[in-house]
Every structure is written in C-alpha cells, then in structure tokens.
Structure 1
Amino acid sequence: MSAPASAAAQDGVDRLTYAPMVMADLDAVFAIEQAVYPHPWTRGNFVDSLASGYSAWTLHDGDALAGYFLLMLAVDEAHLLNVAVAGARQGQGIGRYLLDKVAACARGLGAESVLLEVRPSNLRALDVYRRYGFAEIGRRKNYYPAHNGQREEAIVMRFVL
C-alpha cells in the first residue's frame, strides 16, 4: 500500500537541501527557467540579480536542482522576482515549500509583506499562490511578453507576513 500523496510529497521535500544561489548554479537554474516558462528570464537577468545582492535561493535533491527563487527587498515589502520548480518535480509540494522559504526569507529581511506578479494564463501558479494566502491587489496592463508580439497583463498579488 502506498503512502498518501501528502505524505509522499512531504518525504520528497524532506530530502531537499536549501542553499543560497551561487554562480555555479546558473546552468541548472537557466535550464529549468527555459523548460518551465514560455518567456524565460535570460541568463543575464540571473547574473544581474546575483550581482545586485538579491536574496536568491535554491533547492537541491542530491545533485539535481528541484527549484529556486529570487527575492528583492523594497523598503518594508519583499518582491518575489522569480520562482520555479523543475517540471519533473511539480505537483509534489515543492512550490508550497518554496513559498514557505520565501516568507521566512522576507521576514528575515524585515519585510511586512511579499508582492508578486503572475500571468492570468498561469493557472497552476495562480492556484498555488491563492491556496497559500496571496490575494490579488491589482493588475498591470501589457506587463508580460506573449505570443506573436502581443502582451499579457499581470495579476499583482500580496501576502501579508
């Protein structure tokens, strides 16, 4: 008899290691970024974020990267710039685990809330954010690049710490 899905997901999270993102992680980070996003960040975006001193963290399962996030502090609010879970690891509770780490990191930086933008078409992410407790606070028109030169709005969400 197999373990319940939640127990299996927890087992998968328990063996992950959480560590600051370093330049040596960028090949694996960029590979996930390209695989999971239709309009990924460039490698230069990650290099610039690390050089700017943003809080950047990774989750590894042994030698394999399972996910990552980048967080920027702006006064008393943390802005979640990027978060991703490796495609093969999605649906295993890692997104929620990363959001727990985002909240802990933001608190450690003295933030009172976490802000993020998400595409309305990214239904899976929207569901994860809403279930976590993020609430929509606005929209940004023409924020994201979309197919055929079009633009997609962003849903702005906030989680109060």
Structure 2
Amino acid sequence: MEAENFLDLLKQVVADGKISFYYYCDPTSPITALHHLEIPYPGELSPVDLPYRWHAEKPSEDLVDAVWDDDSHSWIENSDKSQPALIAKLQASNAAMQKKMENYEAAKIKDAQNNDKIVQALSGVQKGQAQTTVVLAQLVPMVQQLSKSVNTPDTSDKPNAADETKKEEGAE
C-alpha cells in the first residue's frame, strides 16, 4: 500500500511540475527492469547534462521490453515475445520455407527430366528386344530345318544295309 501511495504522491508532484521523469537503460543487464527504468528527478536536466544511459524520451507503451538504441536514438523492442519480434521470426521462417520450396521444385523438375530419360532408354531397350524377337522368329525355322537335316541320314549318299550284306557275301 505504501508504494501505491508513494506513486500517487509522486504523480501529483510531477503534475505540479516539480519532478521530471527520466529513463535509465542498461540493455546488457540480465535484469529486465534495468532495460527501461523510470527515474524521478526533481527539476529538469538538459540533454547535455543527462548522465550516461539516461534518456528524457519515454518508451512507447507498445514495447514489452524496451531498450535504447544508440544508432537510431530511440527506444526499440528487446523482447522476443513482442509482436514485431514475432513478425520478424515469422518472416525469417517464411523466407526459409520459401527457399526450401524452391529447392524442392528444382529437385522435382530434375527428377522428372531424369525419369523422361529413363523412359526413353527403356523404350529403346524394348524396341531392341522387339527387333531381336523378329530376327529370332525368322531364324528359328531355319535352325530347325538345319537340325533335321543333320539328324536324319541321307539315303542317297549311304548304301542300304542290305546292299552292304550283298557286297560282303559276294566278296567271299
């Protein structure tokens, strides 16, 4: 209760113009309260007279964890749970997903081209097999005819068994 009474009293003193508020920022501190600490000061300080890391500008109420940025001379968001930080994370993950999709599409196109080459090679093999089958179909009857002529004796060239026995009897 005493802290609330002190704050009410402090706000009244500020409203009367007797106390000014300045904001201390230590962005390297692990204590979040020191990232944007409100400091009451009796009277006013010129920007030149402000101590190190003290700032006259109040951080925006929209910032969850405000820290002073020396480059832009303004308060920026330090929390990774704030809306701007979440949007930045989503944009980064979206860019990464977009790149993965592009790589996937390129790989898909390359695979399709490889598949076309395989299909062409297989169709060439099938044509070759069809031609081989046609040639074999023509050669099989010839081979069968040759094998019949080799397996069956020719009667005109060889004498009969009866002729041979007659020759043998007459020779005696």
What TM-score, normalized by structure 2, do the two folds share?
0.17
Structure with the largest fraction of strand: 1
More helix as a share of residues: 2
TM-score (ref. length: structure 1): 0.18
